[in-house]
Structure 1
Amino acid sequence: MKIYVVKQGDDVDSIARSQGIPVGTLVFDNQIAPPYRLAVGQALYIDDGTFAEDRTPLYVFGYAYPFITSENLNNTLPFLTGLYVFSYGFTQEGELVPPESPPEWMIQRTLEFGVRPILTLTPLGPDGHFNNNLVTTAVHNMEVQQRLIWNLGLEMAEKGYGGLDIDFEYIMAEDRLAYVEFVRRTTEVMNQFGYQVSVALAPKTSATQTGLLYEGVDYGLLGAAANRVLLMTYEWGYTYGPPMAVAPINMVRRVVEYALTEIPREKISLGIPNYGYDWPLPYERGTTVAQTVSNLEAVRLAIDHGAEIQFDEVAMSPYFHYWQYGVEHEVWFEDVRSYKAKFDLIKEYGLTGAGYWQLMQFFRSNWLLLDDMFEIERI
C-alpha cells in the first residue's frame, strides 16, 4: 500500500507507470471518472499488492439511512462487520417510530453479505432534531422505558436485527445518571437475548467538560453499562461553525486519550467522518452556513476551479480555497492521508473498532486502505 500525491504535470498514465500498476487499477481504486482529470495535491491510493504486517482484527461499522442506493450498499458491505440502520425514534409513550423509508430491504441485503444489521435508536423529534425532553421521559418514566425496551425487542426479532445502538445526544446534566441506568438496563435485557448494545458518546476531552453536548455523558459509567462505545470524533468543522477540519487528528487524539482513562480499550470504536464541508468566506458566526460535500465532490470542486489541494500536518487533513461568482470558498474533507492518520491512531492505542458517519457516499480508496491495514471482523 502506498499513497501518491499528484504533482503539476502528472496524469493517470504517468502515475500508473511510475507506480508500476495498470492505469485501470489506479482509475478504479480512486474513482477517477472520465476524462480522468486530477487536482494538484490530490492523494491517491496505490495498491502494491501487500498488506500491513500488523494487520489486527477490527470491528468496522457505519450508519446508513434506508434510502441509500443499492449500488452503494453492495459496494460497502464487503468491508463491514455491522450496518447501523439510521434511525428509529420513539414517542413520549415509548412507542417506536420507524425510519421514514422502510429498512427491510437493506436488512435483508446486509444479512446476505454476512454483515450484522443494527437498529439505531435516537430521540429525534418530528422536526428532525434531537429532543432532550424525549430523553428525560425515557430515562425517568419506568412505564415508558419498559414499553420502549419491549418494543425494541419485538422490532429486532421481527426484522432480523442483530444488535442495538443507542445514539442519544444533548442529554441534560440532570439526566446523566438516569441515562446511565437506562443504558445499563437496556443492555442487560438485550444481552439475555443475544443482542449486543453500543452507545454513541459525544467527543469529550475531560470529565468536567462543560456544554449541553457533554455534561449528560459520563464516559466511565456508560462504558461500563454498554457492550461497546463509539467516540463521535468528528464535527469540529461543522455546518454552522468556522472553517476547519471535520476530524482534526490532534483533537481526535485528545478524545481517545481521555476515553482510555475511563473505558477499556477493547470496548472503544473510533468515529470517522465520510464527508467534508464547503464554507463561503468570510465566515460570520450565526450567518454562514457550510454545505456538506462528499470526499469525491471536494476533489471535483478543486479540479473544476483549478485549486491546489493543501494538507494540514497538524490536523492531518486536506483543504483548499477556490473562488466562484466573486465569493471565496474554503473546503475541508477527508482523503487517504487523513484516513491513514486515523487508522494509525487506532493501532497506536489498541482500539478495536471503527465507526463511520455516514455511508451514503461510497469512497473506495478508504475501504481499500482499511482492508490493507486491518483484518475486518465478520459475524
Structure 2
Amino acid sequence: MGIHVVQAGDSLWAISQKYNVPIQSVLTANGLEEETRVIPGLALYIPEDGPVIRSYIVKPGDTLWSISRRYQTSITAILSANPGIRPERLYIGQKINVPTANKLVMETLGFIVPYSPETFLPAFRETAKYLTYIAISAYSLTREGYAYIELDDTAILAESRRLNVIPLLMIRNLAQGEFSAELIGGVLESPAYRRNLILSLMNFVNQKGYEGISLDFEFIPPPRRQDFNSFIKELKNALGPKILHVNVHAKTEDIPANRIIGAYDYKAIGEGADIVAVMTMDYGYPTGPPNPVAPLWWVEEVIKYSITQIDSKRLQIALPLYGYDWRTSDNRTRSFSMQAIQNLALNTGSVIQFDAFAASPWFKYWREAEEHVVWFEDIRSITEKYKLIDQYNLLGMTYWHLSLRFPQNWAFADKNFTIL
C-alpha cells in the first residue's frame, strides 16, 4: 500500500514516476483531473502491487513465528513492516503490521437514500462490488406505528438483485424531514402500535422481496429503552431467518438517562439483532465547534466499550463519506462529500494539515472576510479505521451514504478486502 503526502513542488507526473505507477491510475484512485495542480498536505493513494498490510494486536503467548503462521507470511516480512520491533520483547496489546496475501474479510453495508435515480443508481453501480448489504432508506412511520413509503425504492431494489447485493428495508423515525423523538417514543410505548409497525414492515418486506430490515431510530426517549428492546425481539421473531440490522448512536459508556444514547441497551440489542452498526461519526457535528467527524481515538474507545456488550463478529462501525465545513464566526455548518471537499481544498489552494492524535485531515480557507475550517477523511484516516476492524475482529463497515463520492475509499477496498 502506498500513501504519498504532497510536498511543495510535487506534481502528479513526478509522483507517478516516483512510484512507477501510471499517472492515470493515480488520477482514478484519487478522483483527480489530469490538469490538477496538487497542494501541500494532500494525501494520495498510490495503488501499488504487493502484499496487503493487516493489523494485529499481540495477545498472550504470541510470537513472531506464531503470527507469521497465522497470516501465512514470514518473520522477515513482519520485521520489515515494523521498524524497531524487538522479536524478544513483544508485549500484550502491541499493534503490529503484517504483510500478507490474506485480505481482510468483511461484511459491509452501504446506505442509499433514493431521491433521484440519475444520482443513486450510478453511485450504487460503482460501489456494489464492495458491499454485502444495501440499506434502502425510503420508509418512515405514522404515529399509530404504520410504516409507509417516503421514496420510490423500485429501481434500487431491482438493481440490488441484479448486482447481488442483499437489500434491507431501512426505516427512520422522520417527521417533516427531521428525526422525531416524540414520534418513535409514542409508537414504542404502545404494544398495539409496535404490533402495527411490525405487521406493516413485514408486509413491505414480503411484498417487495427485501431480505431484512435496517432500523435507524434516533433520539429515542430514554424511558422507552426497555420498549425498544422488546420491539427488537418482537421484530426479529417476525423476521425469522431474514436479517435484522440495528443502527445505534456511538457511546463509550452506558448513560441510561442521556437523551441521545440512553435508550440504546447495547447488550440487549446485540442479543436481539443479527447485526449492530455503531454510528462512529459526528463527533464533530453541525453547529458545534469545528472538530474531527470521526477521530480515531474516539472510534477506538467506542469499539472497546461496544465489544464488552456485543459480540464483535456481529458489530459494524461506520465510515462517514462526508466531511463538514464550519464558518468559524457562528459555527454554521455545511456537509460535503470527500470528493467535493478535496476539490474545495484544491480550488482554494489550502494547505492540508493532519491531526496525528485524531488521525484526521483538516484545512482552513477564507471566503471574503469569513474564516472556514473543514474536517474530513482521506486515505490516511480511513486506513487507520480499517485497522481497527482488523485489530478487534469486527464484522465490518457501514457507509453513509453511497451517493457521496469518495474514490480513495473504494480504490483501497478493491485491493485490500474480501467482501462476503
What interval of TM-score do these two structures reach, taking the shorter chain for normalisation? over 0.9
Give the structure 2 partner of residue 98 of structure 1: 149
The CA distance in 2 between the partners of 1:161 and 1:361, in whole Å, is: 24
Gaps of 5+ in 2: 53-99
Q: Does 1:190 align with 2:233?
A: no
Indicate the residue corresponding to 1:72 in structure 2: 123
Find the residue that maps to 1:257 and give its secondary structure.
helix
State the shift of 1:16 in Å: 0.6
Q: SS of 2:37's equivalent?
A: coil
Once the two structures are TM-superposed, the CA of residue 43 in structure 1 deviates from its matched residue by 0.9
**Partner Cα separation in structure 1 for residue 389 and residue 216 of structure 2:** 22
Partner of 1:40: 40
Letter in 1 for 2:20: G
Q: For residue 371 of structure 1, what is the aligned residue in structure 2? A: 414
Instruction: Give the stretch that moved more between structures: 338-347 or 42-51.
Output: 42-51
Aligned residue pairs total 369
Q: 1:345 to 1:209 in 2, by over 3 A?
A: farther
Contact 1:253 1:345 in 2 (8 A): yes
Report the 3-state secondary structure (helix = DSSP H, G, I; strand = E; otherwise coil) of the residue aligned with 1:156: helix
- Taking a change above 3 Å as real, the CA distance of residues 26 and 355 of structure 1, as seen in their structure-2 partners, is same
* Structure 2: distance between partners of 1:317 and 1:209: 30
Q: Distance in 2 between matches of 1:76 and 1:298?
A: 20
How far, CA to CA, are the matches of 2:405 and 2:150 in structure 1? 21
Offset of 1:70 from its aligned partner?
Answer: 2.4
Residue 345 of structure 1: which of 366, 379, 388 is its match? 388
Correspondence list, 1:1-379, <5 A: 1-52=1-52, 53=100, 54-67=102-115, 68-100=119-151, 102-125=152-175, 127-191=176-240, 194-208=241-255, 211-282=258-329, 284=330, 288-377=331-420
Question: How many angstroms apart in 2 are the aligned matches of 1:116 and 1:70?
Answer: 15
Tell me the CA shift for residue 312 of structure 1. Answer: 0.5
Distance 2:133 2:210 in 1: 10
Q: CA deviation at 1:210?
A: 5.0
Which is greater in Rg? 2
| 8 A contact 2:222–2:256 mirrored in 1 | no
Cα offset, 1:317, TM superposition: 0.6
What is the one-letter code of the residue matched to 2:9? G
* 1:272–1:357 Cα contact (<8 Å) kept: yes
CA distance in 1, matches of 2:389, 2:342: 26
Instruction: Summarize the Cα distance change of 1:265–1:197 in structure 2 as closer, same or farther, 3 Å threshold.
Output: same
Q: Whole-Å Cα distance in 2 between the matches of residues 231 and 69 of structure 1? A: 24
CA distance in 2, matches of 1:99, 1:58: 31
- CA deviation map 1:241-271 (0-9, x unaligned): 1101100011111111000111110110011
Letter in 2 for 1:57: V
SS of the residue aligned with 1:93?
coil
Shift of 1:370: 2.3
**Deviating more after overlay: 367-376 vs 216-225:** 367-376
- Check whether the contact 2:112–2:120 (CA below 8 A) recurs between aligned residues: no
Contact 1:51 1:372 in 2 (8 A): no
| Counterpart residue identity of residue 235, structure 2 | T
Quote the Cα distance in structure 2 between the aligned partners of 1:146 and 1:254. Answer: 36
Letter of the 1:36 partner, please give it. Answer: T
Measured against aligned partners, the alpha-carbon deviations of 1:180-208 in whole angstroms (never above 9, x if no partner) come to: 010111012102xx311011111111113
How much is the aligned-residue C-alpha RMSD, in angstroms? 1.4
Q: Which has the higher contact order (CA 8 A, sep 6+)?
A: 1
Give, as a single letter, the amino acid of the residue that structure 2 aligns with 1:330.
Answer: V
Is the CA contact 2:222–2:257 (under 8 Å) kept in the aligned structure 1? no
Task: Indicate if the aligned counterparts of 2:189 and 2:227 stay in contact, CA closer than 8 A.
Answer: yes
Asked whether the equivalents of residues 256 and 263 of structure 2 are also in contact (C-alpha less than 8 Å), the reply is no
Unmatched 5+ stretches in structure 1: none
Tell me how far apart the structure 2 counterparts of residues 103 and 367 of structure 1 sit (CA, whole Å): 24
- Residues 367 and 51 of structure 1, relative CA distance in 2, 3 Å threshold: farther
Structure 1 length as normaliser, TM-score?
Answer: 0.94
In the superposition, the TM-score normalised over structure 2's length comes to: 0.85
* Contact kept in structure 1, 2:280 and 2:319, CA below 8 Å: yes
